[in-house]
Structure 1
Amino acid sequence: MYTQHFRLTELPFSIAPNPRYLYLSAQHREALAHLLYGIGVGGGFVVLTGEVGTGKTTLCRALLDQLPEDVDIALIFNPRLNSRELLAGICDELHIPYPGPRASLKQLIDALNAYLLDAHARGRRVIVLIDEAQNLRFDVLEQVRLLTNLETNQTKLLQIILVGQPELNQVLDRPNLRQLSQRITARYHLNPLTLAETRDYIRHRLKVAGGSEQEFTDAAMRAIHRRAHGIPRLINLMSDRALLGAYTLGKPRVTGPIARRASRELMPSGQSRNGWRVPGLLALLALTYAGAVWTKALPNPKQGLAWLHSLQGQIAPEPPAAKAKVAAANRTAETAAATPPVKSPPPTEAPKPLPVEPPKPAVPVEPPKQMVPEATPKPAEII
């Protein structure tokens, strides 16, 4: 591998959430401070959101290293559970005994409540951290909210940390979950890294891996940031591929062209971040719309074209080369909408066949009578 070529002690850009490689930018430090503040206040909910790959899980693992000694925590990384399974998972994490796999919801809640009261009497606090919380069902979220009702006269006995993608905020903003939203004591959203933070992030990981921090040129780091949109997980993937490319070419540093080639191998230029091929998709939509106009399936062509243009902006910003293709497809759709369909002439009727009289029955012909041979005259006698 390239570790010996660049004199590294280990792979610097692994996507595993290793806390040793945690890069605390200004916003990451602020997010960690929000989490610690929410835990210090006690009770209620703490919410951390961010796009895929922005470092939420890594930040949570760093949080675990900074928890006080008097805190017990249950980690739930699989949120696709029903209410009973979630409570059983919490009991398993906290080593709470319960009747078994057939335990009812009430039995699990009673066992958890008894444990929380005992922990409070011993001066300990209990936290439940749920990752990928945007996948929780409504009934499970409601059950989680009810768990925070376990309390004494002075304090809440349980605190919940919800970690998820931006869709989690949309879920929590629903009117039927307003009781849960009112119990959120701290909330933070992680944004992608800036260009300056991307430079520091790459150099930080190289330094932890024993590098010289000069393995990437500035042009290479700019190319990776532009292509990865500042998302740390994508930065890791592209940086790892770029180091491999430089090693293959025998180069001492990763240059701009090497980084751009590595990013193209991971994310082809025709793909957006969600994997769709944007120009081809828009052209297909335009042709589909043209066919609908031709068959009169759409009553208002202008409204349909406006919808098509708005959809183009929602899918992804297009590169200049793709705009010409989309414009041509749109012109085709507009031409199809403006040109009335050509009516084909009515089919001419085939000439009616003349009536044919049925053949008359044949008159029976009498068979010829048998000719009776005439008598042969006798020869005259000679006297």
Structure 2
Amino acid sequence: MDSSHLGAIAGDKASKDSARVRRAEAFDQAFMETGSVLLLSWHHFQELFSHRSEEVAAQRVAYLQSLPLVAAIDSFLKEDIVGSVADLQSFEIAAAFQNPAASATSVREEAAKTIFRITSGAELVRPFLESWTALREGFGDSEEHTREVVAISKSSFAGNSDAKVGDLLKDGMRAPGDMLRQFQRLHRGLAADIRERGDTRIPDADHTTRAFMKDVIRVGTEVVRPDNPGLRILQAWGFDLSDIGPDTTLGDIGDMAVFRRKLEVLNVKLRLPWPELIARVKEDRLPSGIIYNAIRRFHPNTHEWDGSELTDRYLACLAAYADVTYVDKRTYEAFRLARQKSETFAALARHVEKAGSYDAIPGQLAARFAQVATT
């Protein structure tokens, strides 16, 4: 279920308005009668508990504690905390590694055997309360960072994502003056994009841009050499010429580099042999990777790049496993387009719904389950 619906239910449950309380109680009863079980992940808790108001956050804690039975993404290492999309991906990577010829659908079926944990809402909430103040602060910092990540990733300030890597490998190193002018151009373009279209809660577009460009310059300075700067960058990302085809673009390499970095981070837990891991596991065999990238690609290009879009993509990955996944209207549209464009996506993503109000959900679920029962 979408975090906004859960927040609304919690607010009604805690209301002094008896009509709102009855509405929430009626939902609980109707939802239970559908035979459904709520599926939660770390990202639900992060969105719900990061609200600025301590009172609102406490209401949400109380509501989740009241749930007698919930399903959750399990921690890959069986830690005492609800799992995130990183845990979900770890289960998928382990399945894909053990079955190198398995399709994404087969990887999904294998991962689904181990990713779920059935427990009570109170048990899921308990670890958060043990570190409540620190977690609340951490959630706030994470939200700020997420807004910047979304803005930078959606900006086309570099303007060269379609450039062929093979062509760039033929180029030599720019003169110092040219490099300076190039970085100044990139800085102006990114800062302008963040000011005009970035999440309005980003306090200082220039500060965000300076911090990002500083990292770009630092990394570039460490790896670029005059002999072949393009090749040195590829090598720094862990690629060689065998990874590059005639039509490989900078955008493709960027996506590959992001996935390679994810593998590095997740392999701290997985502990799989690195050469075999990168040879066996590609993102197009991971259900979460396919869904995440499709939602990123087909998400409506809104004027403001809302920081919540990143969490929406994470939660969208649950659609490979949940019988019904509730999303907002923009993500719903991305699912619709992705199903039309990709048979693989359509085979992986189960039923997706949207609801303007949470009290519409039990009726939608009942209708969906009745439809499935007759087919």
Q: What TM-score results when the alignment is normalised by the length of structure 1?
A: 0.22
More strand by share: 1
More helix by share: 2
Q: What TM-score results when the alignment is normalised by the length of structure 2?
A: 0.23
Mark the structure with the bigger radius of gyration.
Answer: 1
